[in-house]
Each structure stands twice: as C-alpha cells, then as structure tokens.
C-alpha cells in the first residue's frame, strides 16, 4: 500500500511521469521483497524535473541558514548538489569506508557549520544515520534531514527535524514468506548497495 502526503505538490506525479515509481516483484537492499520500488535514478536523470522536486525540498530549509548540504553516495550526490545550489550552500558527499561514511576529495565540514543532510529514498535510514554520525564527528550542527521519498512506514527516525516530500508505505516480505515468490512472479534485484540495508 502506498500513502503520500504531498500529492498537491505534484512530487508523486513526477515520480510516476519519470518511471521512478515501479510495481512488480523487487528484492530490496535489505533482502526483503516488495511489490513496489522507487528507482530514484529515473527522476535524477531528468534535471528539469529533478530540479523542481529538489527545489521543493530546499524550500523546506530556506530559512535555516544552511552552509553545507551533505548526502551519502550514490544518489545523495545529485540530491546534495541540487539542494545546495538552490540554497546557495556548498555540496559534499559522504562515501562508504568499511561500516562508516567518510569525507574524501578534500571535502570538509567545519566545527559549528550548519549542515543539512539529504537523501533520495529512505527505507531503514541507515545511510542517513551514518552521515549524521559523520557530521557529529566533524563538529557540524545538523539543521535537519531532507528526503525525497520516505518508504520506511514511519520507522526511520533521526532525532532531528526531518522533512519528507512523499511518504510511501509498501508491503515487504521475507523471502520465505513472500506471496509473489509463491506465485512465481519474476524477482528483480534493482538495488545499488550490496553491503547492507539503506
């Protein structure tokens, strides 16, 4: 089942228009199966539409004096860049190193700097929590978390102000209890992360 809170803003319509909202039988990065999936790169490959969606996300933090926007690799790179461009801030991305996120390529977050953490799609929230830990380690001040799609069903909580453009709740199943598997619906594994759940 899908629930959304911002259809009036047209975000869900844009996800459908770009083919980012998919139905079928999908293996999520968590290992769970689902009848629906959001392929964020169908949105992010369309700069004209992505800028509209990410401009709306930036608007939620327009008065927060954000100086740097940080997102996790890979989809978070484009999200951070476009939100930062809209806010007149710097954009950096946090890369995986073992079980944590790090800044490379000369990126930095100064102590006390006002940081917005962004992500494209949140399922468990692990990537966002890793970035929040990194910002805390660097001494940055988190002003909030901005997410295009929250598909956590309200389970992903970050302890800071979190703005979501769309909330979606999909049924998920363990492989052994998946009705789609029992019906022999072909399983698609679209995930980009193989090291654990997002």
* Residue range 160-180, pLDDT digits in tens: 999 999 988 888 899 999 999
Pair 92, 48: CB distance under 8 Å? no
Q: What is the pLDDT of residue 184?
A: 95
Burial state string for 4-31 with b = 16 or more CB within 10 A and e = fewer than 16: beeeebebbebbeebebbbeebbbbbbe
Q: By three-state DSSP, how is residue 1 classified? A: coil
> What is the number of other CB atoms lying within 10 angstroms of the CB of residue 72?
27
Strands 68-72 and 114-122 come out as: parallel
Q: What is the pLDDT of residue 49?
A: 95
Q: Is 51 exposed, middle or buried (0-12, 13-18, 19+ CB in 10 A)?
A: middle
DSSP annotation of 186? P
User: Can you give the residue ranges of every domain in the chain?
Assistant: 7-182
Angle at 169 between CA 165 and CA 174, to 5 degrees: 140
Q: What is the pLDDT of residue 119?
A: 96
pLDDT-flagged residues of the chain (< 70):
1-9, 191-198
Q: Which CATH code of 3.30.2130.10, 1.10.10.10, 3.40.50.300, 3.40.50.2020 fits the domain covering 7-182?
A: 3.40.50.2020
Q: Which residue has the tokens 């740097």?
A: 68
Angle at 158 between CA 75 and CA 66, to 5 degrees: 65
Angle at 92 between CA 160 and CA 48, to 5 degrees: 95
Read off the tokens for 20. Answer: 């980012």
Q: What is the pLDDT of residue 32?
A: 86
Could you give the count of Cα atoms lying within 13 Å of 146 in the half-sphere of its Cβ? 29
pLDDT digits (tens, 9 = 90+) for 4-13: 444 335 898 8
pTM of the model: 0.86
Q: E strand or H helix at 71, and its extent?
A: strand 68-72
């Amino acid at each position: 089942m899908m629930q959304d809170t911002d259809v009036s803003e047209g975000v869900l319509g844009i996800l459908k228009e770009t083919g980012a909202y998919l139905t079928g039988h999908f293996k999520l990065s968590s290992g769970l199966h689902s009848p629906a999936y959001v392929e964020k790169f169908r949105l992010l490959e369309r700069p004209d539409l992505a800028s509209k969606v990410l401009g709306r996300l930036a608007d939620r933090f327009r008065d927060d004096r954000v100086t740097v926007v940080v997102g996790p690799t890979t989809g978070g790179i484009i999200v951070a860049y476009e939100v930062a461009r809209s806010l007149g801030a710097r954009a950096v991305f946090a890369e995986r190193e073992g079980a944590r996120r790090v800044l490379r390529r000369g990126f930095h977050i100064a102590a006390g700097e006002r940081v917005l953490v962004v992500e494209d799609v949140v399922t468990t929230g692990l990537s966002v929590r890793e970035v929040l830990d990194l910002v805390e380690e660097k001494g940055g001040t988190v002003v909030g978390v901005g997410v295009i799609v929250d598909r956590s069903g309200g389970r992903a909580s970050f302890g800071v102000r979190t703005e979501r453009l769309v909330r979606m709740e999909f049924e998920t199943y363990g492989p052994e209890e998946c009705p789609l598997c029992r019906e022999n619906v072909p399983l698609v594994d679209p995930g980009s992360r193989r090291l654990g759940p997002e």
